[in-house]
Amino acid sequence: MLLYPSGMDSNDTKHKPATPLPWSEGEDRQGRRRIFGPDGIECARALWKVVKTKQQVSQNRVYIAHAANAYPKLVAALREASECLDDWSDDDTRSRAIALLRELGEDK
């Protein structure tokens, strides 16, 4: 299990993938590059029809896995910032953290 700020895990976000995190990019048994869940089962795919080169497909797979794994950490950090900054005078930073949580659909 990945460690998240303040003891958070991926179950603490409103938006959860159907496949548990962490995700990774790798090869299947036929040598095709895919995105896998922690159990080694394919969970997502970057398609050729929307990009022009194999490198772009590979970059998309890596990005998708990275973004999925980072999402719970981002939400935890934004929640922590919005709570900690409540006691400080940096209202602009706190407001931006709350706005981003709202945009992500993770506001409470």
Q: Could you read off the pLDDT of 29-43 as tens digits, one per residue? A: 988 888 999 999 998
Residue 57 has pLDDT above 50, yes or no: yes
Residue 44 has pLDDT above 50, yes or no: yes
Q: How many residues are present in the chain?
A: 108
- Name residues whose C-beta falls within 8 Å of residue 85's C-beta, 6 or more positions apart in sequence: 91, 93, 94, 97
In whole angstroms, give the CA distance from residue 63 to residue 61. Answer: 5
Residue 3 has pLDDT above 50, yes or no: no
In whole angstroms, give the CA distance from residue 24 to residue 15. Answer: 19
Share of the chain above pLDDT 70, in %: 79
Question: Could you give the angle at the alpha carbon of 23 between the alpha carbons of 21 and 27, nearest 5°?
Answer: 150
- With tokens 């603490």, the residue in question is 12
Q: Could you read off the pLDDT of 75-106 as tens digits, one per residue? A: 999 998 888 876 665 678 888 889 999 999 99
Question: Residue type at 35?
Answer: I
